[in-house]
Amino acid sequence: MYACGPTLDEIVVPPIENYKVGVPILDGDISFTDLIPEDELSDLEIADDSSMYFEFDTAIVIATTDDLVGAFGSGGTDDFFSVDFPNPITGVSLPIPSQGVTLKFTSDASTCTSTPLPCVELQNDVSQVSYIRFMQGTMDVDYNVNAGETFTMVLSNITGPNGETSLTVTQGSSQTSASISLVNVEFQLSDTPTLTMSVTDASGNPSSSGTLTDIGMSTDNNADRLRVLFPSGLSSAGFDIPQESIETDYLTEIFPDGAEITFQDPLINFDFDNPIGTGVSIDLSVNGGVEAVTPNGNLPLSFTGSIADTGTVSQCSQIITVAAATDFDNAARTNKFMCNASNIMSNRPTEMRFAGRANYNVGAGDEVFFTNDDSVKAYFTTRIPLHIGFSGMTYTSGSDLNLDFSSELDDVNSAILRSKVDNGLPVDGTLKFYIKNRERGRTIDSIIVNGNQDGQQVIKSAIVDDNGVVIESKEQYLETQLTGDQVRTLLNAGYLDISFDLVGDADSTTDYPDPVLIKKNQRMNLQMGLLLDATVDLNGSN
């Protein structure tokens, strides 16, 4: 009843010759953003039409508040943002008549009438002040009144901290001084702010028995805003701009040193702001000037107010004029564009250096406003559209691999690495595989798709028009013959590095890479598999 032949585990299946099998390797899409290092993506912006551009912003303070007030002749911000006036009471005490005494503040005492006290002008350490908003300080009056009498002082024609037009302080005979807080109080000197001082008796009737001995502002008075009047003008105001540098080795992680890049319409703004109420001329031709530092030498830079004029030499200049600010809260800013930016950026500048001088020309009778946190800033903004030509870009990525098939092969008759590429990107490329046993292991072998040598771009770009704009994707079928050793190494691999050497060039007949327009929605689809003709030992004898 029992079979007399061998058991199942004793049956030997002979090797199968000319066994054909397909092994899938890759299947996926690649966009250009997949080829960009992650830390560079934060500077990449995507427009509504899927076009992309890099944008880099740098702001540098080139003049502090101290520098600014010093440019107008001040000894410093403490002196500039505080005011004083001479004590109008000289010699003996001033009697207070029953109708009271007034002290008027004005920007022009010659046009103001007041008795017995003269009209007074407020001054900082530079000139007359026509407007001030105090941050701190008090208006102080020393007086004497009879017992039981009341001293009243009213500061009117001002704007108080809550919008009041007057502030009042009343004190009795037990005191000899009175103060009104000036915190957040505004004096518009053209409105003639007025301090009125009077005395009433115990019944509330006007009295003429009191006297004044001193009127002044506390020495700690300080403003956050003021307007300074220059009756005779000021032609020498200005400050030197020390040399500053801005790093501009943009995209180095994408296009390493030695890579050739041609930029299409980069936009570079170099702007200055002006926080004060008079125009300023910034001369970047002195004190070292403005230039780009490149591996090919330093290139002078110039600017214009219109994008359309960036290629017109006659419209470009190293002198930038900034209008006066129109209010305390908003600095005026230029809108200047670098001339010949495409050529400058194609020279791969590592930095931009600039120095110069700012000159203010204040006319006779001009009023100039300042705030205590003013500063002059330079703004350097670079916008680089991904409409570029380039060579020397290399992208490497990798993935784990576990095909677990090599041990079953006795002989490899032929092996073809077949690739289908549907390229919607406007870039040519060379595709290489580096075979490793693990991610950080050594490279065991390499495969160049289609057997091409380094530098030959076998993967062809999508079809582009004369402007480098993609009009049709490019489909290709590539075959690469592999040796038996390459097959075994690939099938035993634990990790596969994929390397692309890429070129973007709309017109290969030029001696520079002609720009192509790269968009976010463009894709390269890559499907790859290994077709084997081999002798297979299903017993795994190897």
Other C-beta atoms lying within 10 Å of the C-beta of residue 76: 12
Q: What is the 3-state secondary structure (H, E, C) of 484-525?
A: HHHHHHHHHCCEEEEEEEEEECCCCCCCCCCCEECECCCCEE
Other C-beta atoms lying within 10 Å of the C-beta of residue 198: 20
* CATH architecture observed for domain 77-230: Sandwich (2.60)
| Predicted pLDDT of residue 5 | 53
CA distance readout (Å), 361 to 234, 323, 332: 6, 12, 16
Q: What is the 3-state secondary structure (H, E, C) of 231-267?
A: CCCECCCEEEEEEEEEECCCCCCCCCCCCCEEECCCE
Quote the CA–CA distance of 60 and 484 in Å, as a whole number: 62
CA distance readout (Å), 159 to 100, 130, 179, 187: 22, 14, 17, 7
Quote the CA–CA distance of 47 and 518 in Å, as a whole number: 12
Other C-beta atoms lying within 10 Å of the C-beta of residue 534: 23
Quote the CA–CA distance of 178 and 24 in Å, as a whole number: 94
Cα-to-chain-centroid distance, residue 423:
35
Q: Tens-of-pLDDT digits for all 542 residues of the chain?
A: 455 555 545 544 455 666 677 888 888 898 999 888 888 888 999 999 999 999 999 999 999 999 999 999 999 999 999 999 988 998 789 999 999 999 999 988 888 888 899 999 999 999 999 999 999 999 999 999 999 999 999 999 999 999 999 999 999 999 999 999 999 999 999 999 999 999 999 999 999 999 999 999 999 999 999 999 999 999 889 999 999 999 998 888 888 877 899 999 999 999 999 999 999 999 999 999 999 999 989 999 999 999 999 999 999 999 999 999 999 999 999 989 999 999 999 999 999 999 999 999 899 999 999 999 999 999 999 999 999 999 988 888 777 777 665 556 667 888 888 889 999 999 998 888 888 888 888 888 888 887 555 556 788 999 999 999 999 999 998 888 888 888 888 887 888 888 888 999 999 899 999 999 999 999 999 998 888 887 776 665 44
Quote the CA–CA distance of 320 and 180 in Å, as a whole number: 46
| Predicted pLDDT of residue 178 | 97
DSSP code of residue 119: P
Quote the CA–CA distance of 441 and 444 in Å, as a whole number: 9
Residues 6+ apart with CB under 8 A from 127: 228, 229, 230, 231
Task: Tell me the domain boundaries of the chain.
Answer: 8-42+389-536, 52-70+234-385, 77-230
pTM (predicted TM-score): 0.78
Tokens of 141: 């009056």
**Cβ(102)–Cβ(116) under 8 Å?**
no
Tokens of 220: 């700690």
Quote the CA–CA distance of 62 and 277 in Å, as a whole number: 18
Tokens of 459: 């993967």
**Cβ(493)–Cβ(437) under 8 Å?**
yes
| Predicted pLDDT of residue 25 | 81
R_g over Cα of the chain: 41
| Predicted pLDDT of residue 441 | 81
